[in-house]
């Protein structure tokens, strides 16, 4: 059987590109070389390039997402393994481009990516399926707002966060009114839309959900114990949190979290890797957001959960490639 060409596509346009490069390296190392010719492709704002076996960078032809090697041999990819966190790989832009040129890729389609990258719209859709979330106020850059009215509606403390940003960038926990305007400006520095959410006083959990061998499964529920006020960028990527898998919850709550996480995944028509964040308060899981291209470095939550579940990284990644190959 002829080996399929798989491009592991990493990088991105946001501050998350460094994490994506680590995630891409793990996937590159894990894919079965008996089945696939595996290549690295890096997408950055100023260049898209292919990394050859001598670590030289060759430009990607954006007309058909191919690369021409020095011998004038053109390489086309049977599948692109998308592991870009943030833009353009997690907000639908890259998927829409690949759809246009007929390139197969892993993970969900452009609509699901665009929807889940928008926290407000995701939570609005999921509310129709009975999935609860925090009370919130939505603002666009330039909107006038009354801090007193918002605080009266949501109460302190509250969270201010960008509506479309990954890795907990631009988030603040506001405890006193004097810090509100600064938090709003901080969030608007990341995005032109922000969400102001009521504080949910409970346990934060991160739930990995994938479709594996034709079945939607919960890989695990990880309890997040931040050493700081909340699970921010430093807590996620610089060790300022404790991540406990499986989470310390009772059986009834575990079943409830698994049920809601799977319901959210299926309701949105998801495919591929996902990691959903919830706050469990009084036994009820409240949805915060869904990541469709979560961190996949060796230290990331999803690979840890897969290991505990008993699925190897090789099988998890191979499953993604096989699904992509079967797409029309």
| pLDDT value of residue 253 | 96
| pLDDT value of residue 265 | 97
Which residues are paired to 61 by β-bridges? 66
Name the pTM for this structure: 0.91
Which residues are paired to 223 by β-bridges? 205, 244
| pLDDT value of residue 299 | 85
**Nearest 5°: phi and psi at 301?**
-70, -45
| pLDDT value of residue 234 | 52
At 128, list the tokens. 């129709």
Report CA Rg, the chain: 20
| pLDDT value of residue 226 | 81
Cα 10 from Cα 20, distance rounded (Å): 6
| pLDDT value of residue 169 | 77
At 249-259, the pLDDT tens digits run 999 999 999 99
The separation between CA 300 and the C-alpha centre of its own chain, rounded to angstroms, equals: 12
- What DSSP line would sit under 237-294, residue for residue? HSS-EEEESS-S--HHHHHHHHHHHHHHHHHTT--S-EEEEEEEETTEEEEEEEESS-
Q: Which helix (H) or strand (E) holds 301?
A: helix 301-309
Cα 151 from Cα 157, distance rounded (Å): 9
Sheet-wide strand order for 136-140: 136-140, 193-198, 158-162, 172-174
Axis-axis angle for helices 180-188, 147-154 (nearest 10): 100
Low-confidence residues of the chain: pLDDT under 50: 231, 235, 237
| pLDDT value of residue 292 | 93
- Spell out a b/e string for 293-328, using b for 16 or more CB atoms within 10 Å of the CB, else e: bbbbbeebbbbbbbbebebebeebbbbbbebbeeee
Residues in CB range of 85: below 8 A, 6 or more apart: 12, 14, 16, 17, 19, 20, 23, 166, 167, 291, 293, 294, 295
- Closest residue by Cα to residue 45 from 11, 72, 22: 11
Whether 39 and 49 have beta carbons less than 8 Å apart is answered as no
Cα 257 from Cα 131, distance rounded (Å): 11
Cα 273 from Cα 317, distance rounded (Å): 9
Cβ atoms within 10 Å of 277's Cβ, excluding its own: 18
**Nearest 5°: phi and psi at 268?**
-85, 0
At 37-74, the pLDDT tens digits run 999 999 999 999 999 988 999 999 999 999 999 878 89
Sheet-wide strand order for 36-43: 57-59, 48-51, 36-43, 4-11, 79-82
DSSP character for 133? B
Q: In a 3-state reduction of DSSP, which class is residue 186?
A: helix
């Amino acid at each position: 059987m002829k080996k399929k060409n798989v491009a592991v596509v990493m990088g991105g346009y946001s501050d998350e590109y460094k994490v994506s490069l680590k995630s891409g390296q793990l996937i590159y190392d894990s894919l079965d070389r008996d089945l696939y010719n595996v290549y690295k492709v890096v997408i950055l704002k100023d260049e898209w390039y292919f990394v050859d076996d001598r670590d030289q960078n060759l430009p990607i032809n954006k007309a058909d997402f191919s690369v021409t090697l020095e011998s004038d041999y053109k390489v086309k990819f049977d599948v692109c393994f998308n592991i870009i966190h943030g833009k353009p790989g997690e907000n639908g832009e890259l998927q829409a481009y690949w759809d246009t040129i007929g390139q197969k890729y892993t993970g969900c389609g452009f609509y699901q990516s665009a929807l889940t990258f928008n926290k407000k719209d995701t939570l609005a859709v999921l509310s129709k399926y009975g999935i609860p979330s925090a009370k919130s106020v939505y603002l666009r850059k330039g909107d006038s707002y009354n801090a007193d009215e918002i605080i009266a509606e949501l109460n302190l403390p509250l969270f201010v966060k960008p509506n479309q940003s990954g890795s907990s960038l631009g988030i603040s926990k506001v405890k006193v009114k004097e810090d509100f305007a600064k938090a709003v400006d901080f969030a608007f520095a990341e995005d032109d839309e922000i969400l102001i959410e009521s504080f949910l006083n409970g346990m934060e959990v991160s739930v990995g959900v994938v479709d594996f061998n034709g079945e939607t499964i919960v890989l695990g529920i990880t309890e997040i114990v931040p050493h700081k006020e909340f699970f921010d960028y430093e807590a996620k990527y610089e060790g300022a949190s404790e991540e406990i898998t499986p989470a310390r919850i009772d059986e009834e709550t575990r079943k409830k979290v698994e049920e809601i996480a799977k319901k959210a995944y299926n309701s949105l028509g998801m495919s591929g890797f996902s990691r959903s964040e919830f706050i469990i308060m009084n036994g009820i899981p409240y949805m915060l957001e869904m990541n469709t291209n979560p961190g996949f470095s060796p230290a990331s939550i999803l690979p840890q959960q897969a290991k505990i579940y008993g699925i190897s990284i090789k099988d998890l990644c191979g499953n993604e490639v096989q699904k992509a190959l079967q797409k029309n």
